[in-house]
Amino acid sequence: MAMIEESVLTAPHRTAPLELELDEPAASTAAACLFRGMADPSRVAILRHLLLGEHNVVQLTEHLGLAQSTVSKHLACLRDCGLVASRPVGRSSVFSLTFPEHVLKVFAAAEALLAATGDAVVLCPTYGDRGQG
């Protein structure tokens, strides 16, 4: 979410091409929060599976091979981040992506960046496979 000064968009005195003024710290913080929300492999797997359509916790649990409490915890995080919504169906809830087209674009961009960087991110001593253990 980029924070743009509203006065820049509505200023009638501007004669130069419109340049959007970005609140860089706010935009950086928002992006970092989004990436932290997606930073867990289980949450990524849940998002990828929800790209196929709506699922309940039992279906996600069976697909991911995780405990129901773990899946529920990750779904709550994704819902708090605004990435997932739920609706009641009988005695359970069905989960779906709030913005599937944007999630798909994020995954496509991530795959392109991973292809460009090769193994660098996996080998990263801080965030790669070796840095997590």
- Which domains does the chain carry? 41-113 (1.10.10.10)
pLDDT of residue 59: 97
Name residue 74's amino acid: H
β-strand 55-56 against 92-97: which pairing, if any?
antiparallel
Q: Which one is predicted more confidently, 120 or 133?
A: 120
Average pLDDT of the segment spanning 32-58: 96
Residues near 95 by beta carbon (within 8 Å), at least 6 away in sequence: 50, 54, 55, 56, 57, 60, 75, 79, 84, 85, 86
pLDDT of residue 131: 58
Average pLDDT of the segment spanning 61-90: 97
pTM for this prediction: 0.78
Average pLDDT of the segment spanning 49-73: 97
